[in-house]
Chains A and B, each alone.
Chain A
Amino acid sequence: MSDTTATVGRSVPRREGGDKVTGRARYTDDLAISGAWFGKTIRSTVPRGRIRSITLDPAFDWRRVVLVTADDIPGDNVVQLIRDDQPVLAPKGGEIRHKEEPILLLAAADRDTLEEAISHIRIEYDTAEPVYLIDKATEVFSTVEIRKGKVLEEVEDVEVVVERTFRVGLQEQLYIEPQGAIAIPERDGSIKVIGSLQCPYYVHRALKRALRLSDAEAVVIQAETGGGFGGKEEYPSIVAVHAALLARKAGRPVRLIYDRHEDLAATTKRHPGVIKHRTAVKKDGTLLAQDIEIVLDGGAYCTLTPVVLSRAAIHAAGAYSCPNVRIRARAVATNTPPNGAFRGFGAPQSLFAAELMVEHVAERLGMSSVDLRRQWMLRLGDTTATGQVLTESVGSELVLDAALNAAAPLRRADVPTCRRGRGLSLVFHGSGFTGSGEKKLQGTIGFEALADGTFRILTASTEIGQGTKTIFCQLAADALGVGLDKVVLAPQDTSLVPDSGPTVASRTAMIVGRLVQEAATEVKERLKREKAPLRVEKSYIQPDSIHWDENTYRGDAYPVYAWACTIADVEVDITTGEVRVTDLVTAVDCGKALHPVMAEGQIEGGCLQAVGWATIEEIKMKDGGYQNDRLATYLIPTALDAPRIRTILVENPYSRGPFGAKGIGELPMDGPAPAIIAAIHDAIGVWLDEIPATPEKVLAACASR
């Protein structure tokens, strides 16, 4: 008999853990597909212009390869997402808007033939003057304005106004498994794509649009996926469509697996931006008004930029209660590779600025920034910048106290050229889609009671390392009162599972997990009267209490928020400018930790990604491309660079989350960067307004003091 002890809150073994530690887990490139050819994308070498000519050298026998141009696209030459601006392949005579823009696709039976063919292609361009700087950009992808109360100039009793401008840089997701897809054309005209991806139905929609396929003719299957972090939210649509076009023309399977260099050079990055703050206070610290301007660089095409901008704007005032707020945000186009989804989705950028503003105001007033946070922080019943009244699960003070209690005393540096310092941040992050997003999406799952007494969850939510497979089975088993071994998860295959919405936006555990819990509960009830097999479908229904006005940006921006307080200790070498994060403590209000070890693991990984963004992960631009587009030059933290990260899980249940859980996937990306910059100030007395805090910037800041 199986063990029916409740599993939620217990760190049960990861579902696919055995496969992952033995090498049995099959990632896209691990799949042996007989007769498959190798594909490659030929990309632009200029940032802006028009394709004048594409010349195929007759010295090469072109019958040995399959070549796909824009003319071979049966449907629309559009990457299906928000705006129809990005072509699948730039057509001849067509406009080039960024370096590495896909122009041609090639496939061959072996890699050597492929390389030989590539060397016989010449593309000529009529170039145009590229736009790289956001203040020179003329095309605006989207704007957001949030207003609460009066504008700063109209507010009375203002005693001090602090103004500061912050800059944040590009960042690569750097999942360790590069992008890849394998397309298999079937005899009946349908096309199956197996790939490394977060959102099967995004890819499904993109395939239908570009290849003119019906719902049933496009089949998308997620292989085991080696990390995503947003990087495999929208970009896999491009990889999949390219692979499918090649497979369709070749009449055989085609593998399109990026190498690291191509992945770094061509795929989406975190949006860089400039954030300008003005904060008006009284001398006793009373927060009177915030005026915030955000500009994000979207790169050459829209991708998900308007949604990123929206999340950036909504989080821009920080975790604080301010009576008068104006936030004006815009995202602009430049001739650089498109930026896209990356864990945090705009919020890390705007919260970086908001948190450092607290520090600057505190310094000006001669107050402790922790005391100022206590004075300002959003509490139960307070109203956010969008006018949302926080009615439950507000963990601001809980996480602040938990982090402060857990932090060990700051040690002095043992090296005479090093200085140590400590910084703190307090952030919140909306769980689930913004505003009416979940309502429009109506994420759906299926749940089956099978005749053999087992249960099956049918969801398009993907496992990308964060634990979806394990926690969904825990939720179902506990709701049913059966052992974990009685619950299985159907494969993430669009021909089998309904559209549960994308695996993004800190929504999987909280929104889709709740559907799993509800479906399992319903099946349990029905089994009292009916016999298996039976199946239920559950779709998200927005509670009546949630109101959002997309036009005015007023209302309940998110169903609930998760909260985090992070304390970072740094050591700064004043001779080299090198910054080392020596200790990091983070207290997170996650509602309920469904699986404590996985929750901690996700938080620790997110924190280290943020440490990288704040310190060493710098992308240098050259002629519209990334100069350091190799792993030898784009550095991420190693085990040696990483601090010991201590996570404190604070459980402050949310009534509509499964067993009280809130989404925490993105939150850990928000807090470390401002805490680290504050710690650098504590160590050496200089404020950096820009990340990453590279040795060059640290030394320059010291010199200009």
Chain B
Amino acid sequence: MRFTLNGTAVALDVVGTRRLLDVLREDLYLTGTKEGCGEGECGACSVLIDGEVVDSCLVAVGQVEGRNVVTVEGLASQDGKLSQLQQAFIEHGAAQCGICTPGMLLAAHVLLQQAKRLSAADVREGLAGNLCRCTGYTKIIDAVLACTK
């Protein structure tokens, strides 16, 4: 099967029913995508499929045939320069233990792409599918809002 991953075409010989999460982590060694619950509740495994945030633990890899998948590894530029959002996460203390961070970044990335103007309430709603137990969310919301300015 073929799909686009972080801007690059990939061709894989895998069983289509395997979880996208496992294929990313175990076959492609992209371990930035985390498994927090395996049931689509925590959002740690969030990836983007054609620009939509999806829990990769609930997606069979066969479903992404021909589609465009972005993981946290695809957020920085090719030369390793962090995106404005990644930089804001560091500056605002939005990443503590860091396990929810990849999923949180992807969900926030989509929010910022969809609307240039965001209120704190919009950000809270947009990130409601991604659980964080360290920050109380305040610093994450600050980081996302900082990127709207």
Binding site for B on A (CB under 8 A): 11, 13-14, 16-27, 29-30, 32, 173-178, 224-229, 259-261, 464-467, 597-598, 600-602, 604-609, 630-632, 636, 638-640, 642, 644-645
Q: Is the CB of B97 within 8 A of A464?
A: yes
Within the assembled complex, what's the spacing in Å between the Cα atoms of A630 and B41? Answer: 9
Q: Is the CB of A640 within 8 A of B99?
A: no
Q: How far is the CB of B33 from chain A (nearest CB, A)?
A: 7
Dominant secondary structure at the A interface? loop
Checking B76, B82, B92 against A597 with a beta-carbon cut-off of 8 angstroms, the contacting residue is B92
Checking B90, B128, B140 against A18 with a beta-carbon cut-off of 8 angstroms, the contacting residue is B90
Residues of A within 8 A of B96 (CB): 227, 465-467, 598, 601-602, 605
A176-B99, A639-B124 known; A601 and B139 CB under 8 Å? yes
Residues of B within 8 A of A22 (CB): 32, 72-73, 75-76, 82, 86
Checking B36, B95, B140, B141 against A260 with a beta-carbon cut-off of 8 angstroms, the contacting residue is B36
Known: A22-B32, A23-B71, A601-B135. 5 other contacts (CB 8 A): A17-B95, A22-B73, A226-B99, A260-B39, A604-B137
Q: Is the CB of A176 within 8 A of B97?
A: yes
Residues of A within 8 A of B99 (CB): 27, 175-177, 226-227
Q: Is the CB of A639 within 8 A of B133?
A: no
Within the assembled complex, what's the spacing in Å between the Cα atoms of A314 and B25? Answer: 47
Q: Is the CB of B131 within 8 A of A23?
A: no
The size class of the interface chain B forms with chain A is 35 or more
Residues of A within 8 A of B141 (CB): 639
Within the assembled complex, what's the spacing in Å between the Cα atoms of A602 and B112? Answer: 26
Within the assembled complex, what's the spacing in Å between the Cα atoms of A285 and B33? Answer: 57
Within the assembled complex, what's the spacing in Å between the Cα atoms of A632 and B39? Answer: 8
Complex interface bits, B26-44 against A, C-beta within 8 A gives 1, otherwise 0? 0001111111111101101
Within the assembled complex, what's the spacing in Å between the Cα atoms of A177 and B93? Answer: 19
Checking B33, B34, B41 against A632 with a beta-carbon cut-off of 8 angstroms, the contacting residue is B41
Could you list 22 examples of A-B contacts with CB < 8 Å?
A: A11-B93, A13-B90, A16-B98, A17-B90, A17-B95, A22-B32, A23-B73, A25-B98, A26-B31, A27-B99, A29-B35, A177-B34, A177-B97, A228-B97, A600-B139, A604-B135, A604-B136, A604-B137, A630-B39, A636-B133, A639-B125, A642-B138
Q: Is the CB of B97 within 8 A of A644?
A: no
Which residues of B62-113 are within 8 A (CB) of A? 71-73, 75-76, 82, 86, 89-93, 95-102, 105
Checking A226, A638, A642 against B98 with a beta-carbon cut-off of 8 angstroms, the contacting residue is A226
Q: How many A-B contacts are there with CB distance less than 8 Å?
A: 176
* Closest residue on chain B to residue A630 by CB atoms: B39
A176-B44, A604-B138 known; A227 and B133 CB under 8 Å? yes
Residues of B within 8 A of A259 (CB): 35, 37-38
Residues of B within 8 A of A29 (CB): 25, 31, 34-35
Q: Is the CB of B135 within 8 A of A174?
A: no
Q: Is the CB of A605 within 8 A of B90?
A: no
Within the assembled complex, what's the spacing in Å between the Cα atoms of A600 and B140? Answer: 12
Within the assembled complex, what's the spacing in Å between the Cα atoms of A609 and B32? Answer: 25
Q: Is the CB of A645 within 8 A of B133?
A: no
Residues of A within 8 A of B101 (CB): 20-21
Q: Does B53 contact A (CB under 8 A)?
A: no
Q: Is the CB of B131 within 8 A of A21?
A: no
Residues of A within 8 A of B91 (CB): 13
Q: Is the CB of B38 within 8 A of A609?
A: no
Dominant secondary structure at the B interface? loop
* Closest residue on chain B to residue A111 by CB atoms: B22
Within the assembled complex, what's the spacing in Å between the Cα atoms of A282 and B74? Answer: 67
Checking B31, B124, B133 against A176 with a beta-carbon cut-off of 8 angstroms, the contacting residue is B133
Q: How far is the CB of A22 from chain B (nearest CB, A)?
A: 6
A22-B76, A23-B102, A465-B97 known; A14 and B90 CB under 8 Å? yes
Q: How far is the CB of A564 from chain B (nearest CB, A)?
A: 14
Within the assembled complex, what's the spacing in Å between the Cα atoms of A606 and B37? Answer: 22
* Closest residue on chain A to residue B140 by CB atoms: A639
Q: Is the CB of A636 within 8 A of B131?
A: yes
Residues of A within 8 A of B38 (CB): 259-261
Within the assembled complex, what's the spacing in Å between the Cα atoms of A338 and B132? Answer: 25
Residues of A within 8 A of B37 (CB): 259-260, 630-631
Within the assembled complex, what's the spacing in Å between the Cα atoms of A66 and B133? Answer: 36
Q: Is the CB of A638 within 8 A of B134?
A: no
Residues of B within 8 A of A19 (CB): 98
Q: Is the CB of B136 within 8 A of A645?
A: yes
Q: Is the CB of B86 within 8 A of A176?
A: no
Q: Is the CB of B33 within 8 A of A23?
A: yes
Residues of A within 8 A of B25 (CB): 29-30
Q: How far is the CB of B1 from chain A (nearest CB, A)?
A: 21
Q: How far is the CB of A73 from chain B (nearest CB, A)?
A: 30
Q: Is the CB of B97 within 8 A of A225?
A: yes
A22-B75, A23-B73, A32-B29 known; A227 and B39 CB under 8 Å? no
Residues of A within 8 A of B86 (CB): 21-22
Q: Is the CB of B34 within 8 A of A639?
A: no
Q: Does B123 contact A (CB under 8 A)?
A: yes
* Closest residue on chain A to residue B129 by CB atoms: A638
Q: Is the CB of A601 within 8 A of B39?
A: no
Q: Is the CB of B105 within 8 A of A21?
A: yes
Q: Does B127 contact A (CB under 8 A)?
A: yes
Residues of B within 8 A of A636 (CB): 131, 133
Residues of B within 8 A of A27 (CB): 31, 34, 99
Q: Is the CB of B136 within 8 A of A605?
A: yes
Q: Is the CB of A601 within 8 A of B93?
A: yes
Q: Does B56 contact A (CB under 8 A)?
A: no
Within the assembled complex, what's the spacing in Å between the Cα atoms of A362 and B117? Answer: 47
